[in-house]
Amino acid sequence: MASSIFYLSSDEVFANPLHYTALLNRCHFGIVTLANNVTHLVFPKHGSLDFICLHLLNYTTQAQCEAFTGGGLSKWTLYSGIDVWTRLEVWKIPLLLLILQFSCVALAWHAYPFTLFHLLGNPENSIASLLYTLSSCQSRALLLIETYALTEPFEIEDEIRLEWKHYALILVSYDECGDCGDVASFILKAKNAMEEQPLHYKQFRKSFRKLAGDLAADRQTTSLLTVYALFIFIQAFGFAFYKTQGSDKASLQYPNGKLVNIEAHSIAYSALFLWLAPAVYLSSIIGVSQTNERIPEKLNDFRDLLETLLLGAEFAEDYARFPKIHELPRTILLPGHGHGTSLDEEMSVVSPLDYSERHRSAGIYSSNPGVLASANVALHRPELGLATRMGCHSTAWLLVLSSVVVSMEISREVPPVNNICRPLGELSALIAWLSSCLGDFAINKWARPESRYALIFWKDTAASCAILTLILVTQLGVLHRCACYSSSSGDGAIFNPLIPRVGNLLDYLFANRWLPITMCAILFQLVMAAVVSWWYILSIRVYLQRSSSKSNLKPLWLVGRYLDALFGWLEQLRVDAHNALRLRRVKKEARSQSQTSEDSVGVSEPRHGLALTI
């Protein structure tokens, strides 16, 4: 960090007060010029907490500081307006831009604020819900891959090998509209039953692919924008560190310089939200629907067509009855099929629901009720039971707690070390998030299903307001008190960054501790996002599929094939080299044995001849 030389002392300032009028006025000194042109200084008795003034007055203890500022818990000093705005601009605006990149489903006017408030008020549940959404999709994809006997995932020219992705996306869309239940088996049985009817089966496959294509085209994924936002987020951290490190430190010579111990607060509070990186990334992969009100109608149309085809082909009634309990919401009553009044009456008894009811099921991916509810949307599959939910919660807590630990560690290391005033803000944020998480469990267990959404909305609104208020008051200077800069030892020394030893220590911590810790924490979050992508690669293929049945991950599959070919060639080269060396060694041993045999024969013949001569 650029350092101002501490060559200007308070004695030099007092010796020439007219030259340092601005500095003295900042600390409320009185300058009186007597008749004989002698300048007399009137020392201030009280003032605000200003490290420049404390250093100028040589106040080095907490008692002196509190006597000057008035002391007390409520006696805190606002930072200057320019400092507050600079820290917000450098450290907090990149966080805001990243939050706004979080995918929000516009199911209703309240769904957008609900998603953002839930993200800020309960990040653990938001991340766990995203992971559970991917896990549910992955479970369906694995089952369908076994059904379709998929062999080579990169053979994208074969539409049959991609049909599992269409099927999975359709079932996931049914999940978002409520309990999917037996929809999967119903469609699969209908498909198998109609395979013997070429005309109906052709129409079924055409509608099947059209529905999957419509759903894929309707789903907006913002991968590129999210990658750009993540780049801006990381670049903002690096630029903020560089800007702070390259600025002059505050001193009597440069009273408007940087105060590193205060900048550390901005670093710590920004590190508190590092979990936003994987959360925003996962939300962008899952994407959002652009025409939410049309999704239930598309699914209903496909169901109606399937029932019509089955009834028209005079199949068994078991195949021609879509499970009534899983009737999807729509604003218009289902039309009759002309095959008897019993079916029409049976389908009409379900009350028409508005499409916005999707927000009560799995329509909001960051608030998936399956991650908490005992009535899981797919609980009959063991891989989506308690173990899956615990895995989602554990991963989410790992991401959130790692950010909190990094934030508290940076605050703890600001001199004086282990001052409880420093990590108090981060601890308060953690308590708010824990309380919000416990509130979700309580609401899910004891509240009525129809009132859970509203209760969670207001609970997350309160938690988000608490978090935002905490950030605002700390940015304004609520921790800018004498007690937050004093040692816990008996002397109560104030660790003023203008003191050379304290300033040098802060410089060292800034460059050699806080910067590496923060960058490693960001790297950890990105690595975890990559690990989740690898673990749920089938889900990502489902959500990122195109309406044209082309794979977005074709370059990755091709790279994988080329790497396999390269590694295979290298392995073959290694085997050939090993065989060549082995053959060479065998030949060498054979020649050695042959030479040994010849030598033994040559030695024995002279001895034999000598014996005959004798």
Digit-coded pLDDT (tens) for 219-255: 766 566 667 777 777 777 777 777 777 666 777 777 7
Q: Residue 526 pLDDT > 50, yes or no? A: yes
Cα separation, 482 vs 50, in Å, equals 10
Cα three-residue angle 434-438-441, rounded to 5 degrees: 145
Name the more confident of 132 and 250.
Answer: 132
Cα separation, 347 vs 334, in Å, equals 7
| Closest listed residue to residue 456, CA positions, set 437, 483, 433 | 437
Range with the lowest mean pLDDT among 272-276, 338-342, 455-459, 528-532? 338-342
pLDDT in tens, 293-337: 677 777 777 877 777 777 665 554 555 555 443 444 333 232 333
Q: Tally Cβ neighbours within 10 Å of residue 320.
A: 22
Q: Return the H-helix or E-strand segment holding 568.
A: helix 554-613
Q: 232-259 in b/e burial notation, b at 16+ Cβ within 10 A?
A: bbbebbeebbeebbebebbbbbbbebbb
Looking at residue 609, its pLDDT comes to 42
Looking at residue 43, its pLDDT comes to 82
Q: Residue 62 pLDDT > 80, yes or no? A: yes
Most confident of 133-142, 339-348, 383-392: 133-142
Inter-residue contact 329 to 177 (CB < 8 Å): yes
**pTM of structure:** 0.78
Inter-residue contact 348 to 334 (CB < 8 Å): yes
User: Which residues, in sequence order, are CB contacts of 603 under 8 Å at separation 6+?
Assistant: none
Looking at residue 449, its pLDDT comes to 76
Question: Distance of CA 113 to CAs 62, 99, 446, 579, Å?
Answer: 45, 12, 24, 67
Cα separation, 243 vs 369, in Å, equals 44
Inter-residue contact 413 to 407 (CB < 8 Å): no
Q: Residue 112 pLDDT > 90, yes or no? A: no
Beta bridge partners of residue 61, listed in sequence order: 493
3-state secondary structure of 39: strand
Q: Return the H-helix or E-strand segment holding 396.
A: helix 386-413
| Closest listed residue to residue 121, CA positions, set 552, 467, 425 | 467
Most confident of 39-48, 462-471, 472-481: 462-471
Mean predicted confidence (pLDDT) in 153-159: 46
pLDDT in tens, 482-497: 888 887 766 678 888 8
Looking at residue 563, its pLDDT comes to 64
Mean predicted confidence (pLDDT) in 590-606: 63
Q: Tally Cβ neighbours within 10 Å of residue 297.
A: 16
Task: Return the half-sphere exposure (C-beta side, CA atoms, 13 A cut-off) of residue 101.
Answer: 28
At residue 601 the predicted structure's pLDDT band, cuts being 50, 70 and 90, is low
